[in-house]
């Protein structure tokens, strides 16, 4: 009986260690993904691409509704978007400091 208990105890311990290893591995993989997503969200390439796409979308819309100088007039919304993305980290810090209760 003692031998059976010892063998079962080792098997259970081994299974728990395997489960723990699996959970740690999954957490580490999730953290890698979160870090990559964060790097993309804060990258200059993303901001520039969004500004370009905003500019093109607005310019094409202005052209389709026959506004004069659509390519020139589309600069303002694209620039406004770019400025807003540059100032968001500042407002985030303020919000975290004064409003977020964790």
Look up the pTM and report it. 0.64
Number of helices followed by number of strands (H, E) in the chain = 4, 0
Give the highest mean pLDDT range of 16-20, 28-32, 43-47: 28-32
> Among 95, 102, 88, 100, which residue's Cα sits nearest to residue 41?
88
Q: What is the pLDDT of residue 16?
A: 74
Residue 9 binned pLDDT confidence (cut-offs 50, 70, 90): low
How far, CA to CA in Å, does 98 sit from each of 17, 42, 85, 86, 92? 42, 22, 21, 20, 10
Does the pLDDT at position 89 exceed 90? no
pLDDT value for 18: 81
Mean pLDDT across the chain, nearest whole number? 87
């Amino acid at each position: 009986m003692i031998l059976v208990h010892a063998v079962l105890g080792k098997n259970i311990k081994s299974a728990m260690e395997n489960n723990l290893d699996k959970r740690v591995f999954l957490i580490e993989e999730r953290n890698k993904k979160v870090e990559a997503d964060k790097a993309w969200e804060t990258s200059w390439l993303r901001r520039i691409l969004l500004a370009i796409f905003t500019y093109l979308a607005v310019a094409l819309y202005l052209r389709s509704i026959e506004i004069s100088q659509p390519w020139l007039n589309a600069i303002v919304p694209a620039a406004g978007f770019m400025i807003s993305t540059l100032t968001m980290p500042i407002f985030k810090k303020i919000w975290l400091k004064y409003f977020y209760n964790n």
